[in-house]
Amino acid sequence: MTGFDAVQLSYDEPLADSLHTRLARVLGGSVKRLHGVRGMRRAYRLTAELVDTDQFFLADGDFAIDPEFLTSSVEPLAAGVSMRVWRAVNPVNGLTYGYGGLKLIRTSALQEMGQAVDVLAALPGRVEFSQHTAGITLFNQTPFHAWKAGFRECSMLARGSEYGMTDASAQERIDAWKAGKDGDFADYASVGARDGIEFARTAARDPERFEALNDPSWLHRHFITLHGEQAVAG
């Protein structure tokens, strides 16, 4: 046991059930789950209602935690820190950074969250990025999920990181997403990255339109519009 509650936040990820079991095995105890809630901001806020601790682990539905992750060494968040993010390995482009990583998050910070397209960037207080890797983000489970990951991430990077990342660092990550050629459905992730850059070019200055990045129904329709029904099944 870690002393922290844990929640898996899933929506439609095919491997979410097995990854939830894996998360519970590594973290110990019971990992709670919030599944299928529409509205990303609403879903994140609701996770705070499931826990009894003032800080808790939060994992995406496609996060595969490293079985060797040392829960006993995890320190509580310091005063003024709203969230700690551990790195995750990207199976498509080889990057290892906070995208899709495990989080330790302050419950009250979620309840006081502001507005940002990258939802957790609107937490009050500082965000702490761990240099340790906690697992793999298995976003590339279907053509659509791989495309969506590249599309959303590169749209936000192209507009400008809401975490204060430098333009040079953002461009390095964009280039890696565009070039990624390994792993399942890697081509869809690369195409999604290019589509996301184009979306940012036309929508970045229109907050209402850019917010579509957090609408799963719109994302699926946009994918079908750009790449056709046959792309859904690969």
- Euclidean distance between CA atoms 201 and 103, whole angstroms: 30
Instruction: Decide which of 203 and 166 is more confident.
Output: 203
- pLDDT category at 3 given cuts 50, 70, 90 is confident
> How high does pLDDT run on average in the chain?
92
pLDDT at 230: 58
Residue 224's H or E segment, with its range, is helix 216-227
pLDDT digits (tens, 9 = 90+) for 71-125: 988 999 999 999 999 999 999 999 999 999 999 999 999 989 887 777 788 889 9
The pair of three-digit structure tokens given for residue 138, joined into one six-digit string: 């298995």
Cα separation of the two ends of the chain: 41
- Euclidean distance between CA atoms 107 and 105, whole angstroms: 6
pLDDT digits (tens, 9 = 90+) for 32-60: 999 999 988 899 999 999 999 999 999 99
Q: Looking at the predicted structure, is the pLDDT value of residue 214 above 50?
A: yes
Give backbone dihedrals phi and psi of 186, rounded to 5 degrees, phi first: -60, -35
Closest CA to 71 of 86, 83, 53, 91: 86
C-alpha triplet 119, 174, 135: angle, nearest 5°: 65
- Euclidean distance between CA atoms 53 and 107, whole angstroms: 8
pLDDT at 229: 67
Alpha carbon separation from 17 to 12, 24, 47, 62 (Å, rounded): 10, 11, 17, 10
Taking the CA of residue 234 as centre, how many other CA atoms within 13 Å lie in the half-sphere pointing to its CB? 14
The pair of three-digit structure tokens given for residue 142, joined into one six-digit string: 């279907």
pLDDT digits (tens, 9 = 90+) for 143-160: 999 999 999 999 999 988
C-alpha triplet 221, 227, 230: angle, nearest 5°: 95
Query: What are 55's strand-pairing partners?
Result: 106
Q: Is 72 left (phi over 0), alpha (psi -120 to 50) or beta?
A: alpha
pLDDT at 160: 81
Closest CA to 3 of 29, 32, 33, 34: 29
Q: Are 5 and 24 in contact (CB under 8 A)?
A: no
Closest CA to 123 of 231, 48, 198, 224: 48
